Structure 1
Amino acid sequence: MAKVRISQIRSTIKRPENQKRTIKALGLGKINRSVEVELTPQINGMINKVSHLVSVTEL
């Protein structure tokens, strides 16, 4: 599997609760925080759900 770096670029203030929980499940929570994860179908689905709040870079 490919590895990707996910960085939060926008705030979760005034966002639906399911988007806030998705950001937490990805290991984010603050702006400019980044995590490196394997790109599985589950992670890809979470990225698509909050794509307007995060940036994704392939490693």
Structure 2
Amino acid sequence: MMMPSTIRARITAESYYLGFIPGLLSTVAGTMLAGIGIYRRQTSQLFKELET
């Protein structure tokens, strides 16, 4: 099978939306879940976890 030696990617506006928006949303959602998990813990438990 003959294939060209150079392969070029076609970057369109849709590819930016399909890559950027889900990546941004997943980062924000992960940060929110981690923040909620830390916020619900008691301060004494957080300090105990930091010591070990």
Give TM-score, length-normalised by structure 1.
Answer: 0.22
Give TM-score, length-normalised by structure 2.
Answer: 0.24
Pick 1 or 2: higher relative contact order, CA cutoff 8 A, min separation 6.
1
The answer to which structure has the higher strand fraction is 1
Pick the structure with greater CA Rg: 2
The answer to which structure has the higher helix fraction is 2
